[in-house]
């Protein structure tokens, strides 16, 4: 029984995280980093690299589809922004 409150807190956090609102390409912070929901849309950007997607970036949070650069929002797995850095490993 003692672990129940802690377990409920974790469940609540994961439930909240799973419902993060999607980041709009029109949001000021998205525009500042040239975020696009479809990476191919950024192919003409000088920082773009082939196979660079949110889901293989070091800032990607796979359990929430979140990004540490866009706190409180989910991003598209196959999206891209100019801050993309290959995830180690």
Please state the domain count of the chain.
1
* pLDDT-based confidence at residue 83 (cuts at 50, 70, 90): very high
**Does pLDDT of 53 surpass 50?**
yes
**Does pLDDT of 64 surpass 80?**
yes
The answer to the question of residue 40 being in a domain is: yes
The answer to the question of residue 78 being in a domain is: no
pTM of the model: 0.78
Distance CA 49, CA 61 (A): 20
* pLDDT score, position 65: 97
Q: Which domain holds residue 44?
A: 4-67
Query: Are the C-beta atoms of residues 66 and 37 closer than 8 Å to each other?
Result: no
């Amino acid at each position: 029984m003692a672990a129940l409150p802690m377990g409920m807190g974790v469940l609540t956090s994961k439930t909240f995280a799973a419902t993060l609102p999607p980041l709009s390409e029109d949001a000021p912070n998205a525009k500042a980093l040239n975020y696009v929901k479809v990476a191919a849309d950024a192919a003409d950007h000088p920082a773009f690299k082939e196979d660079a997607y949110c889901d293989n970036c070091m800032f990607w949070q796979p359990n929430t589809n979140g990004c540490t650069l866009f706190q409180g929002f989910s991003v598209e797995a196959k999206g891209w922004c100019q801050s993309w850095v290959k995830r180690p490993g």
